[in-house]
Amino acid sequence: MMEQVRIGMIGVGGRGDIAQYWHRPEGRSIIVAGADINEKYLSEFKKRASTDVFVTNQYQSMLERKDIDAIAVTSPDYCHEEHAIAALEAGKHVFCEKPLAITVEGCDRILQAWERSGKKLMVGFNMRYMNMFRTMKGIIDSGDIGEIKAVWVRHFVGYGGDFYYHDWHGNSKNTTSLLLQKGAHDIDMIHYLTGQYTKKVAAFGSLDFYGGDKPNDLTCPNCNEKDICTEARFGRLNQCVYRQEIDVEDNNVVIMELDNGIKATYMQCHFTPDYHRNYTLIGTEGRIENSENDNKVYVKSRSSNKWHSLSDRIYDIKAGEGTHGGADPNICRDFVDMILDNKDPIATPIAGRMSVAAGCAAAASMRAGGKVVNIQPRQVV
């Protein structure tokens, strides 16, 4: 019986930093390998893990190794499909960072490879593991606000330029839309908190701040406007945010209808000055709303014949230990428990597919003038 999961990483920079929570040489998991096309990232990864870790710029050679049980796919979004399928076909368990893929068809191909493989597959929806949203899920499931009828989500992406327009994210061929890359979290949380998937959407969006007529090869250090440009950056991500290839919307509004008739809206803006998410869910007996700025969840009750209507409630959310408010160590632990203990993951492969399906439908809607688009059912082969 396996007692320790030996994990290899595909993509060791950026999101690959979650490897720190798996590298427990004396515990239930250990990082034994990493693949990346960036030699600097590989060198830094090797120093963080150990001198014995195997590193390569050819991920296929890592998948051939018999001393690897599982693969964490933390490569760029447009690589997820290729890497996840290859790992599953090589007989490895897979953790795939969100979004599962950048097309619905890509997600379905991953699911088919997963079912053929007999291995475990988990999606990196770490918001499901954040204390704030775990609290909200518990309150909702307790029946405190009754049956949910409406959901309003606002995502203030205060560092949109830094996160998404100074690099590859700004081109739709790499992301399809930020309604996948960024919105995958929020769409999934709408699904998770309500217990329902989206069945149809209508959306509106545009490039209202980023993009423009600058050359695609222009970088901030080489720009003659760098001293006056508010978006100038001089670190690793320094492509001009006003370059011609930018074509993913920075201002979006999505209207959604879920399977049981719940009406939801999702709004996302990448040039707002602040960064936080605001969730409001309204039920037949009250509503719940979060405030990330002060780490609180508010429950307001309406008249009913239950004790819930006798008071309103405020929950003070405790800080978690580790990155993303403690979510990252928890989701990494869940991946190991899934493999060693056969524990069902909180973030399922089907949930990964459905968030992408809703995001893709919303992108198609807004690029067609806001027409209603139905969510594609899963294609089973």
The answer to whether residues 194 and 147 belong to one domain is: yes
- Residue 1, pLDDT > 90, answer no
Give, for 111, the enclosing helix (H) or strand (E): helix 104-117
Could you tell me where the DSSP H helices lie in 283-348? 327-341
Distance CA 281, CA 276 (A): 17
Which residues, other chains included, contact 106 with Cβ-Cβ below 8 Å and sequence gap of 6+?
80, 81, 100, 356
- Residue 379, pLDDT > 80, answer no
The answer to whether residues 32 and 176 belong to one domain is: no
Per-residue pLDDT tens over the stretch 295-320 = 999 999 998 888 888 899 999 999 98
Per-residue pLDDT tens over the stretch 202-232 = 999 999 999 999 999 999 999 999 999 999 9
Question: Considering the domain boundaries, does residue 176 fall inside one?
Answer: yes
Question: Considering the domain boundaries, does residue 239 fall inside one?
Answer: no
Q: Nearest Cα to 87, choosing from 9, 31, 145?
A: 9
Question: Considering the domain boundaries, does residue 74 fall inside one?
Answer: yes
Which residues, other chains included, contact 311 with Cβ-Cβ below 8 Å and sequence gap of 6+?
301
The answer to whether residues 267 and 289 belong to one domain is: yes
Q: Nearest Cα to 40, choosing from 70, 5, 12?
A: 12
Question: Considering the domain boundaries, does residue 338 fall inside one?
Answer: no
Q: Is 176 exposed, middle or buried (0-12, 13-18, 19+ CB in 10 A)?
A: buried
Distance CA 300, CA 315 (A): 12
- Indicate the number of domains in the chain: 2
The answer to whether residues 47 and 167 belong to one domain is: no
Question: Considering the domain boundaries, does residue 186 fall inside one?
Answer: yes
The answer to whether residues 152 and 29 belong to one domain is: no
Domain holding 29, by residue range, is 5-125
What's the pTM value of the predicted model, to 2 decimals? 0.94
